[in-house]
Structure 1
């Protein structure tokens, strides 16, 4: 037995069956990726032959025979690429994680698709054995047999397996339950899906599956209108929508070229946009995320890249500094498209903003060009009609806004009647955009209008009128105290509005805090009490002295009728302001409604 005190260097033992299970259940999403990995190896072999510097007049080709064509259910894929010597077969095919694209073989890795040396293992998901017949220039043909139990054998190819030209042929025999993945129909579908845009001819049972221009291509002789029609048809077929617009995108650093399709309908910004990404013209992913900035959720892209790195499964992009720089560059190009649209086709920009204003407003929060675009072209809701920020400031000078939708609803008609123009900044990003607009455009003065501030713009009564109302105010204080509300009497337009309920955000918070403290235990009540203001704020019910009904109520002398009418006006003001009714408010509604009916019935009976 070894002395545990002495370190001994040993090598890990690898259970290949466990590795295959790991690949099939955790690395790759489906056994169908075997077709992609075989195509990748074939394309890289052809690329390596060209990189090797040897003149070769042959046309590169990849030929696949399905289980239907071979008659025994097996699949073969052959290429006329560089091939492998016996030494490379031992070194590369039998070593997990070792890639034939390593720099030590003299080839620049960025020219190749594969980087991890595990692609061939994906074939074990559909076959218990892999046969590779390969020949390198000046070397004999070699036969390598690998089995899923981790064993392999290398021998000279038999006479009927000799290759006349350099290249490689891979043969798979289906494992039980996987026969359907090697049929002509399945293989054609898989190869078309992954490799239809490859630059080399690929055939399945003699039928070509590659050809035709890729979305990012610009064939000679194709006009702009013809290309646009082709791209729109592609978008409908692949993404399922007719694009609002088509934008060409490219970044030299990532070797990326492609097309961005603008959605014609609203997109959910919380759902990451999925893009179709090719790596050296081989489909990498149909659902690649984070290719574009988060604000560009209104775009779907199809791109081909030569330099962005795939993950080990080759089903997503690796997050690194190059992908981050590419994301920023593509975002700049989409922003440039928006700016061009604003200058050349403002009507189309307005149509775009009606659908995708959220994304542009999100970008405008940190981009001055987009901020000006929003300010010039996006109409915001105001109490004097839809106006852009630029139009509003040009017309009124002071940019007055309220940051809450409910506050705007209760303030808008009253403020308009007093000659106060107010912007509704209660929608997503609007308040932040107004603040930033005031910072960037220093000529714009901004004022936030809250419910409590509106009373300063309402006309006070004459001193004699206020003294005459003193008896009514005493009754009103007792009635409204039960409802946690104060009473003001002011004269304002519109005269048809008898009452107005004013509740700002701070007061609403304090009311909610007080109600919550009454429902929790002492510990939580003490904690919440630390947030409570020293002076208890209360909402205000404002009666309009210009309204005939309000003046009649103010002139009542019967205390009971005063209380009933006051409760009715209070509840009506709550409903007009879209405020929720508390149990006490509902009780006041019932009491005032039934009380007034009782009074009416009694009067009629007399």
Structure 2
């Protein structure tokens, strides 16, 4: 087929512009990204070969090979993984499928010196090669196919694709290095980069030396090693290998033996992913069976409310030929899921107790997602309630737990009061809070959309019901006041009953069916009037939300 010139889609062009203008100091991350992609290609072929062994019959030993040509200023990274055909080269290297990419790139389009570590969010580490290369050539041949293809681009908006030549399956990426990037032609420098960033890759990474190919990495799955033998730096690099773009906030690594045997290496990010609330967002857990990659789409392995997790789960008991369909209802998957959830919640509970300031950072990033579990996960609801945190009317900027709230409830108080709204400033100014504040009664301030759904579902905590401060039936009379002055004020009468009755009658006549009733209230101390919901009626915030979406 004749050579064909094609244009990158808009998002790729923007991304390449960011790469070209990046001042990112650690340019060597391009090698980490290319090796990671090569490893993934081998993992995917290893899985396909379980049902079609002929795909790897001629070359069963997977590896990544690095070679240099100093005279030509060329660096090559080759693998014998699954490879790509023409359509895959166009779709994988010419477009970006991840949703949300366009908005992110639009936001950073005019920035100079963008930190490229954030670009890892989009799964497009391949383009980091243009930090050091004037042009990039990709020769690839799909396993099971005879035709190879050649993809070439200088990263300025276009690429060409044509017939290529390759003896076997896999992909070779050839970088023509820019002037000033000669360090990446030095064997010692390449060895150092591999040891620093890719030592955890579970297949050999070899470098072409004068006396033959030599393996330069540990080549064992990191999660199979004892924790005591793994450094924080190695954990961090593996975290980036499985999709992280920052430093892990928490690393959870454990080995389960017994009725089922499996290993788990999970990470919680320190930053909130850009697509955390995107319904099409993929889960970040990779499932392996006996070190063989099976899928990164085992959605039943962790619940949606833990979708921020990254890492691997490696089972010794699942069959190697397990299909994604079988995973949907597999009792072993259900068992592992339950154990994973409980272990993660246990570790979060420890962090909340021992490092509350660090836990606050976690909660600001992922609290709204965790609270989805209160609505969706009855089995683990009590454990989740132990770690949820809230702003309150007496907590200032600090977050409090439900245990802390209950521990400082007023004498005579048997209810957990809350108020929900769009943002903290708005709910703090709400006139519905005046009576509570006057009596020193703490009220939880809820500003996440999910709050109005989990509260009715949960109902209570340790026998104490949740009740909205916007409810007309919020009875504060039986609760002790904060001060003697407050108690005396409760007995004072500030109005004439007859005149007030006339005023109430006028309001009822004027407002007619706009409101259910108009009543005298001692809940207000500064405001003249406020709206409340009657017992059993829809909460005010939910009513507003439905009105905004024309549902009322």
Give TM-score scaled by structure 1 length. 0.46
- Rg larger for: 1
Q: Select the structure that is richer in helix.
A: 1
